[in-house]
Structure 1
Amino acid sequence: MSIRALILGLPLIWLAGCETVQTTDGGAVGVQRQQYMFSALSSAQVDQMAAESYAKMLEEAREKKVLNTDTAMLNRLRRISNDLIPQTRHFRADAPSWNWEVNLIKNDQLNASCMPGGKIIFYTGIVEKLNLTDDEIAQIMGHEIAHALREHGREAISRAYVTQTGTQVATALLGLGEVSRQAADAAVQYGLTLPNSRGNETEADLIGLELAARAGYNPQAAVTLWQKMASASQGQPPAFLSTHPSHSGRIQNLQNAIPRVQPLYEAAKR
């Protein structure tokens, strides 16, 4: 079997154990990509894994005395989340009733996340170092919430499984040595995993933009946010080798989408 034939066959390996899932409605921003999830891996299972991981993270932070030490910042984050969470109904009817949590860890990293099922973590560094406005925090939080709405975590676990399966099949069928196996790993990673991850990031940008606009947060803040991020993260790898879009590409995509959500923002501000 040729390498070309094998690569062409990988989608069949992927699809064999998968089901098509429509995790969200498209919204005004029109996120409509079909998603494929392993049928044996349910949303509830992923949510449970995330809840356990989140609880462990909080316990470790509590032991280090870095959990929720800045009450003013924590209250600010929770106030913004209370504005955003009701808007999730425009993408998923079930989402507003998730067991949402928002917590804050004292850490200089420029990072925030929302685990499957609605478990939100912010690091103090991203708020302090970027001197974020409420509108900019809403963009970050909306982006992270969007990952949970679209079940990107479940999708990533499914994709990781097919990536492993694909390279194992390549090795077995072609008798690849170590160097060739590493090349196959790289081909699967850069040809399948990373482009999809960049696509997930773009979806989260767009859905987050709409969530924030519907909650009354200025969509122009998405541009200023990523301008700040670009300034703070000089020397990032090229977009081709990154799971995140380039800052310039990301800003352009957001600028193109702002006219679609501007009426929602204006209606929310009335």
Structure 2
Amino acid sequence: MTKHLLSFGHGYSARALTPLLLAQGFTIAGTTRSEDKAKAHQSDGVTPMIWPNEDLQGEDVRRELEKATHLLISAGPNSEGDPVLNAFRTEIAARAPHLEWVGYLSTTGVYGDAQGDWVDEESSLKPSTKRGQMRVDAEAEWQAILDLPLHIFRLAGIYGPGRGPFAKVRAGTARRIIKKNQVFSRIHVEDIAQVLAASITQPNIGAVYNLCDNDPAPPEDVIAHAAELLELPLPPAVDFETADMTPMARSFYAESKRVRNNLIKDELGVKLRYPDYRSGLAALLASERAAG
């Protein structure tokens, strides 16, 4: 039987997973809101669907659900709940016993603020932002579906091609925001893809995994290292309390924690390609320069 992945919100992480699954003989369909992104997905070998789509009312998605063996959910919740379950809960529940694997991409924001201490998959969920609480609620909604072979992946800050600090450092707009005891965990998109592929190969229904590298670090250290790699001046240091930041950017600094990733290594056997931001940024810069 052909393995068929239906990817809801087929974005940055899902696109990184795509070539790994196509190489295994999967067929893939993915939803997007944008015509331009739909064309890009098609060039990747993915069957694109515009969703939400008032004309089709999700009928094309329902057809893909009927043949799906695997589901990947990257679409995030909003004030009305999980958009995928709001639209297709009945169909997904009906397909649940026939699915081999379902992956829900969540966030380490569900743990809230640990004041710089370590958290793991057994830590209490204490989100300190509305965005984090919506993720906790969405996880619970997915877990409530009977017979669903669900796997939850809590992602740290994502970086990779096109998502790194180099552009701002080159443009002179980068700043080192200084807040005492502030640390973040992060993950390269290629490592997200290899973790998802490993889980698909060896499902463990009900599992929850933290996806992050081995080196939680203050954000100002990452910016400084990027400048060093580019041989450009150190971006200015700005105190968090007086920094001009958007409410969204400021909200990320409401939480400080170090995230453990032992489970992806011990259970799934994953060896991170980029175990820290130094190796990840070096690879990104080398790739940029090779591309001209």
TM-score greater than 0.5 by the shorter chain: no
| TM-score, normalization by structure 1 | 0.23
Query: What's the TM-score once normalised by structure 2's chain length?
Result: 0.22
Decide which structure has greater strand share: 2
